[in-house]
């Protein structure tokens, strides 16, 4: 059964820093991995989807990488802004198992 | 519609009451998922539909939980005889087709059982 973990659980950085959020999964036979953002009391907003055949995806200041062999994905946020403050969740999709989410990383970007 | 819509946004139920939560997926999306999210945790899978067929209900925590999607679009998650441990946010997501497509989530329904 797929298990997903995220490190760190919480992160506080000053505005302008580049930062990396980590996601690990136990079953490397994934179809894709998706990163989401969740603001307090809100639903999930999709950030990036990486197919199993891809190594990385980029959207604006966000870059997500995928290394299936090591069971890891990282989300890189460049030049962080206070508006980036939220909880970031990764979810691995194994065929027949659906999305398995990590517990999230709670990010605070201080002005 | 433009996104996944869930209603109600908030629901307070007395213990033992039945509740029904509605999800309107993005038009044309074949796959629909329900997740349960406890405070401070990641979402946990409940059930999955492909069109009107419920292909996976392995995540439903008990037989008090029931989901349907009779016409392959709108879905309803029903919880019978609610208990305090059912208090959570219930999230619905849809995707265009099967596995290799991006999932879009609704705002969720926050259920509080008192």
At residue A82, what are phi and psi to the nearest 5 degrees? -55, -30
Q: Given a cut of 70, is residue A10 above it in pLDDT?
A: yes
Closest in A42, A49, A104 to B102, CB measured? A49
How far apart are the C-alpha atoms of A84 and B88, rounded to whole Å?
A: 25
Chain A residues whose CB is inside 8 A of the B59 CB are 98
Q: Given a cut of 90, is residue A4 above it in pLDDT?
A: yes
Q: Given a cut of 70, is residue B1 above it in pLDDT?
A: no
- Cα–Cα distances in angstroms (integers) from residue B16 to residues A15, A50, B110, in the given order: 48, 43, 17
Chain B residues whose CB is inside 8 A of the A100 CB are 45
B105 and A49 in contact by Cβ < 8 A? no
Q: Given a cut of 80, is residue B100 above it in pLDDT?
A: no
- Residue-averaged pLDDT of chain A: 94
| CB A31 within 8 Å of CB A97 | no
A89-108: per-residue pLDDT in tens? 999 988 777 889 999 999 99
* Angle at B65 (CA atoms; ends B61, B69), nearest 5 degrees: 125
Tell me what pLDDT residue B99 has: 57
B56 and A32 in contact by Cβ < 8 A? no
Q: Given a cut of 60, is residue B31 above it in pLDDT?
A: yes
How many CA within 13 A on the CB side of residue B11? 27
A13-64: per-residue pLDDT in tens? 999 999 999 999 999 889 899 999 999 888 899 999 999 999 999 999 999 9
SS3 A82: helix
The residue that leads in pLDDT, B100 or B27, is B27
Which residues on chain A place their C-beta less than 8 Å from a C-beta of chain B? 4, 31-32, 34, 36, 41-46, 49, 51, 89, 91, 93, 95-96, 98-104
Mean pLDDT of all residues in B44-68: 94
How far apart are the C-alpha atoms of A98 and A91, rounded to whole Å?
A: 9
Chain B, nearest residue to A93 by Cα: B99
- Residue from B29, B41, B50, B99 to probe the interface with A (highest A Cβ count within 10 Å): B99
Chain A, nearest residue to B103 by Cα: A46
CB atoms within 10 A of CB A72: 15
**DSSP-assigned states of every residue in B68-85:** E-TTSS-EEEEESS--GG
Confidence of residue B82 (pLDDT cuts 50, 70, 90): very high
Mean pLDDT of all residues in A79-93: 96
Facing residues of A74 across strands?
A22, A65
B105 and A46 in contact by Cβ < 8 A? yes
């Amino acid at each position: 059964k797929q298990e997903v973990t995220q490190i760190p659980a919480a992160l506080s950085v000053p505005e302008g820093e580049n930062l990396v959020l980590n996601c690990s999964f136990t079953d490397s036979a994934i179809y894709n991995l998706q990163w989401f953002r969740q603001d307090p009391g809100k639903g999930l907003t999709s950030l990036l989807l990486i197919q199993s055949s891809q190594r990385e995806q980029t959207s604006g200041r966000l870059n997500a990488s995928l290394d299936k062999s090591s069971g890891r994905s990282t989300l890189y946020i460049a030049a962080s802004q206070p508006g980036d403050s939220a909880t970031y969740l990764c979810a691995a999709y194994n065929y027949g198992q659906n999305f398995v989410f990590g517990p999230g990383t709670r990010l605070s970007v201080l002005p | 519609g433009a996104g996944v819509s869930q209603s109600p946004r908030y629901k307070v139920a007395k213990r033992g009451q039945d509740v029904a939560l509605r999800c309107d997926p993005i038009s044309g999306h074949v796959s629909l998922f329900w997740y349960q999210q406890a405070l401070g945790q990641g979402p946990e899978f409940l059930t999955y539909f492909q069109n009107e067929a419920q292909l996976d209900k392995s995540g439903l925590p008990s037989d008090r939980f029931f989901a349907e999607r009779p016409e392959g679009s709108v879905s309803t998650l029903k919880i019978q005889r609610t208990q305090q441990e059912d208090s959570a946010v219930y999230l619905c997501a849809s995707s265009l087709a099967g596995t290799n497509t991006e999932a879009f989530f609704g705002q969720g329904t926050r259920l509080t059982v008192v």
